[in-house]
Amino acid sequence: MNYVSTRGQAPTLSFNEALTTGLASDGGLYVPEQWPVVSAEQMLAWRSLDYVALSVEVMALFTGDTISREDLGAMASRAYADFAHPAKAPLVQLDHNQWILELFHGPTLAFKDFALQFLGQLFDHVLLKSGERRVIVGATSGDTGSAAIEAVRGLSQVELFMLHPAGRVSDVQRRQMTTVTDANIHNIAVDGDFDDCQRLVKSMFNDAAFRDEMSLSAVNSINWARVAAQVVYYFHAALSLGAPQRTVSFAVPSGNFGNVFAGVVAREMGLPVEQFVVGSNTNDILTRFFASGTMAANEVTPSITPSMDIQVSSNFERLLFEMTGRDASTVRQWMESFSATGKFSVSADQYASLSTLFQAGSLTDEQTRAEMHRLYQQSAYLIDPHSAIGTSVARDARRPDTPMIVLATAHPAKFPDAVNSATGVHPELPSRVSHIMAAEEHFGQAPADLIFLQQHIRTVLST
């Protein structure tokens, strides 16, 4: 299986190359040259597989012959070993034909563990084979940082530098990162905001000499392997509820659109999906797109669902590529227009075809709290604010005959203040995580200055 760029002007890469490259050199995103197709018979056979075994089957379709099945099996076992629930991604019934897919039983209590735990294993495997070492740099406003750290801690071929804005991430989120003691993990508190952190990471990648000197890599959500690992839980949930004979729908609280796009991939591969319902907070660029066919960026407004405070949904480019029948030059024009003017529009036909598959809705913080309250009153189910956006938009858009599966993306204890103010209940951190509140923290500090940071990274690596 080879990988091509959504903008059509970057080299075709193998799975392993796409894994360690991340963003394509033409600014596009890598996707498989064609979608692997899974027959109904194959899906029926998959029904008997547990989560880890299913992840091997799905990932093998994307890795092709670059990684042996035996190696993939070992990686999948290690990737999901630290999940607290034996089913890894259990379904919980909320109401008739309404389900929650709990994706927060991983080590950092958010769905990002599903992709990043596998990605860490893949990186180590591929780099051990080639004898390379990589320096991963990333910026985080919360969930991504801890999930990436948990995924690569202790790996021999990888050093990770994670930048977070000093004083601007929650206590739980910071401690999940800074209490990790493995020698290959380096946290840096940057004197600035999240945008400063992201800008610094971008500048390091744009500095070709530094990029080559360090062999920089990224693990952000545009990495194809992250999307691939997320495809698994769409199959797993739908097969549990009767697919392929039964069609299902999904509702997904969205930011970068990586999670929804994994569902779109499952559907391209043959999984019968009727609807995708996309949820946003007041940073509702996706909702406005699905209401109009025009993508137009606004300022980011902080909300009680910080992991969805995003105005540019980078993975949406992969959907545009599919929707145009893989017309890379049209995608390129739209993306150029978006970066020059902050907007672009699709044609009426393209919009009509998207509208049958996708519905979207957005919630204010007040509406999100009301939904959390409602669910707690009705079912005694404590839900995190991101996932509550999912249950709310699902209820508005669902068709009663089709099972609706809402993806719960974070554990309520990750956002205790929002949960408490909505329900009056303080969600306790699971005991396997609670030690972080007393453990010693380790992090460096830096001004929002590129030269300083580059020197800091060199110094840390040479000691």
Ligand X SMILES: *Cc1c(COP(=O)(O)O)cnc(C)c1O
User: Per rule CB under 6 A, is residue 256 in the interface with ligand X?
Assistant: yes
Over the window 369 to 388, marking each residue x when it contacts ligand X by CB under 6 A and - when it does not, the resulting string is -----------------x--
Q: Tell me the closest approach of the beta carbon of residue 138 to ligand X, in angstroms.
A: 13
User: Per rule CB under 6 A, is residue 16 in the interface with ligand X?
Assistant: no
CB 285 within 8 A of CB 256: no
User: Per rule CB under 6 A, is residue 164 in the interface with ligand X?
Assistant: no
b (16+ CB within 10 A) / e for 278-312: bbbbbbbbbbbbbeebebeeeeeeebbbbbbbbbb
Nearest CB to ligand X, comparing residues 308 and 405: 308
Q: Tell me the closest approach of the beta carbon of residue 275 to ligand X, in angstroms.
A: 17
- Give 78's contacts (C-beta < 8 A, 6+ positions apart): 121
**Residue of 112, 129, 202, 343 with catalytic role:** 112
Site size for ligand X (CB under 6 A): 16
Q: Tell me the closest approach of the beta carbon of residue 280 to ligand X, in angstroms.
A: 9
> Rounded to whole angstroms, how far apart are CA atoms 27 and 20?
15
User: Per rule CB under 6 A, is residue 254 in the interface with ligand X?
Assistant: yes
Bond from prior residue into 400 cis (ω within 30 degrees of 0): no
- DSSP secondary structure code for residue 139 in this structure: E
Over the window 306 to 325, marking each residue x when it contacts ligand X by CB under 6 A and - when it does not, the resulting string is -xx-----------------
Over the window 388 to 427, marking each residue x when it contacts ligand X by CB under 6 A and - when it does not, the resulting string is ---------------------xx-----------------
> Is residue 112 flagged as an active site residue?
yes
User: Per rule CB under 6 A, is residue 218 in the interface with ligand X?
Assistant: no
Complete edge-to-edge strand list for the sheet that includes strand 91-95: 91-95, 98-102, 404-408, 248-253, 273-280, 358-362
Q: Tell me the closest approach of the beta carbon of residue 111 to ligand X, in angstroms.
A: 6
Q: What are phi and psi of 69, to 5 degrees?
A: -60, -35
Degrees to nearest 5, angle at CA 252 with 250 and 255: 155
Stretch that binds ligand X, among 19-27, 43-51, 164-172, 250-258 (CB under 6 A): 250-258
> Rounded to whole angstroms, how far apart are CA atoms 379 and 387?
15
Q: Which of 24, 110, 189, 285 binds ligand X (CB under 6 A)?
A: 110
CB 279 within 8 A of CB 361: yes
Binding site for ligand X (CB under 6 A): 110, 112, 143, 221, 253-259, 307-308, 386, 409-410
| Residues with a known catalytic role | 112
